[in-house]
């Protein structure tokens, strides 16, 4: 068994060296900056793409909402699109739903989760399901043990939670990723901006701070900014740029408009698809060139253009998504 877990963003994995067994990992950002989406993408990369058993604790969000968010991320759709096209949802999400049903991803949406209940559930799932990664969104929603819950100051309660989480990671021998709020402000974040707990930043093995304040580059519906590896007890620290496509609400490793190192991909439909007067068949294969690691990462712009140019097929009108196609890197 490999001791480390890659998050699926290769530039971050290269610096961090993967999340090690027993690691306590903190991912921090100011409110509303995308840390929950980023954590869900990690869960998809680890549990769905790599079939690594993963436990996701989401005390602030219902399991149903969580599942909808995952479907939207996997299918490159927004929740509003799902609501506006109820007759197409089953078709668009079919492949993703099948993948999720086979994925070792387990969700716990217990609200107001007490640390002792978390520890009990985590130990049970590691033993029963072989869980190798635990994610908590987010740590400030965990409640410490008595008497801290009712009588102690908030910082003392969260310090106790932080110590319990680090002990659990060491005992269970799995990395635990916790999301954390950062103090509000326009400046580039630093570790001291982690709120409510001094112990959390002391005990953390890895700290990643998301920065999308002043200095982020906003171009053509995308935002490019910094993921700051501020602490890494295993080695390197540094900064990684990730791009967020605002329409899809997803993070990518490439700037969408860059065209430097081009790659060619053969795109082939998996099955016959009929939608909105459009017909797509497995014989309708195209080759597209892009600098992206996946030609569907930019809203499938090059793929859509190729199908319109060669076959007169309207990719967007037909509500296609990446799960409708096989994608093979050429060369």
For the chain, domain boundaries: 4-252, 263-330
pTM of the full structure:
0.78
What pLDDT score was predicted for residue 173?
Answer: 96
Closest to 2 measured CA to CA, from 46, 68, 32, 37: 46
Indicate the CATH number for domain 4-252: 3.40.50.300
Sequence-separated (6 or more) residues with CB below 8 Å from residue 329: 263, 264, 265
Going by the DSSP 8-state scheme, the letter that residue 279 receives in this structure is: E
Contact 210, 27 (CB under 8 A): yes
Torsion region of 22: left, alpha or beta (phi above 0 gives left; psi -120 to 50 gives alpha): left
CB neighbourhood size of 12 (10 A): 21
Contact 110, 117 (CB under 8 A): yes
Task: Say whether 32 sits in a helix, a strand or coil.
Answer: coil
Question: What gap in Å lies between CA 253 and CA 299, rounded to an integer?
Answer: 14
What pLDDT score was predicted for residue 215?
Answer: 41
What pLDDT score was predicted for residue 250?
Answer: 82
Contact 217, 257 (CB under 8 A): no
What pLDDT score was predicted for residue 260?
Answer: 46
Mean pLDDT by 10 residues, the chain (331 residues): 80 92 94 88 91 93 88 81 81 80 92 92 96 93 76 83 95 96 84 89 94 55 81 91 77 59 85 84 90 75 88 84 87 69
Phi and psi, residue 146, nearest 5°: -65, 145
What pLDDT score was predicted for residue 255?
Answer: 53
Task: Say whether 242 sits in a helix, a strand or coil.
Answer: strand
HSE-CB at 43 with a 13 A cutoff on CA atoms is 32
Sequence-separated (6 or more) residues with CB below 8 Å from residue 145: 114, 115, 116, 160, 164
């Amino acid at each position: 068994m490999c001791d480390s877990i890659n998050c699926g963003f290769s530039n971050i994995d290269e610096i961090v060296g993967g999340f090690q067994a027993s690691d306590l990992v903190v991912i921090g950002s100011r409110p509303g900056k995308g840390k929950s989406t980023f954590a869900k993408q990690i869960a998809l990369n680890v549990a769905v793409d790599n079939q690594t058993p993963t436990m996701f604790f989401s005390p602030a969000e219902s399991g149903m909402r969580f599942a909808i968010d995952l479907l939207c991320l996997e299918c490159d759709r927004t929740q509003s699109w799902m609501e506006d096209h109820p007759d197409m949802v089953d078709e668009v999400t079919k492949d993703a739903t099948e993948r999720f049903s086979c994925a070792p991803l387990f969700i716990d949406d217990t609200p107001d989760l007490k640390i002792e209940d978390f520890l009990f559930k985590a130990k049970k799932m590691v033993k029963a399901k072989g869980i190798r990664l635990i994610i908590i969104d987010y740590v400030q929603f965990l409640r410490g043990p008595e008497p801290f819950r009712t009588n102690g100051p908030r910082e003392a309660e969260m310090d106790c939670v932080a110590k319990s989480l680090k002990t659990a990671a060491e005992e269970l021998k799995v990395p635990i990723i916790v999301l954390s709020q950062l103090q509000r402000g326009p400046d580039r974040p630093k570790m001291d901006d982690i709120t409510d707990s001094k112990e959390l930043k002391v005990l953390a093995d890895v700290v990643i701070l998301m920065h999308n304040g002043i200095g982020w580059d906003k171009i053509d519906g995308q935002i490019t900014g910094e993921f700051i590896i501020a602490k890494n007890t295993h080695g390197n620290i540094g900064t990684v740029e990730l791009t967020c496509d605002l329409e899809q609400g997803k993070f990518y490793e490439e700037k969408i408009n860059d065209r430097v190192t081009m790659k060619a991909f053969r795109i082939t439909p998996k099955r016959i698809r009929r939608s909105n007067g459009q017909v797509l068949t497995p014989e309708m294969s195209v080759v597209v060139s892009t600098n992206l690691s996946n030609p569907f990462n930019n809203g499938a712009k090059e793929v859509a253009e190729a199908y319109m140019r060669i076959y007169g097929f309207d990719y967007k009108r037909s509500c296609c998504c990446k799960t409708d196609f096989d994608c093979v890197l050429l060369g």
